[in-house]
Amino acid sequence: MTRPGGVVASAVTQFLGGMPAFDLVYNIGAVLEADVTRLRSMRAGRQLFWPNGQAALWRKLGLDDVTEVPVVVHCEYKSFADYWATFTDGPGSVTGMLKALSDDARGSIEQHVRAGYLWLVCPMDAGHFP
Grade residue 130 by pLDDT with cuts at 50, 70 and 90: very low
CA 103, distance to chain mean position in Å, is: 22
Q: What is the mean pLDDT of the chain?
A: 83
Q: For residue 8, what pLDDT is reported? A: 87
Sign of the CA dihedral 31, 32, 37, 43?
negative
- Region class of 90: left (phi > 0), else alpha (psi between -120 and 50), else beta: left
Residue 99 resides in a domain = yes
Residue 5 located in a structural domain: no
Look at residue 10 and tell me if it is in a domain: no
pTM beyond cutoff 0.75: no
| 87-104 pLDDT per residue, tens | 888 787 788 889 999 999
User: How many angstroms separate the most distant Cα atoms in the chain?
Assistant: 64
Domain assignment present for 2: no
Q: Is residue 74 part of a domain?
A: yes
Q: How confident is the model at residue 129 (pLDDT cuts 50, 70, 90)?
A: very low
Q: What is the pLDDT of residue 69?
A: 85
Phi, psi of 84 (to 5 degrees): -65, -35
Mean pLDDT, range 68-75, rounded to an integer: 79
Q: Is a pLDDT exceeding 80 seen at residue 27?
A: yes
Between 119 and 109, the more confident residue is: 109
> Is 13 part of any domain?
no
Residue 127 lies in a domain: no
How many domains would you assign to the chain? 1
pLDDT: is 124 or 102 the higher one? Answer: 102
Regarding predicted confidence, which is higher, 41 or 102?
102
Domain span including residue 28: 20-121
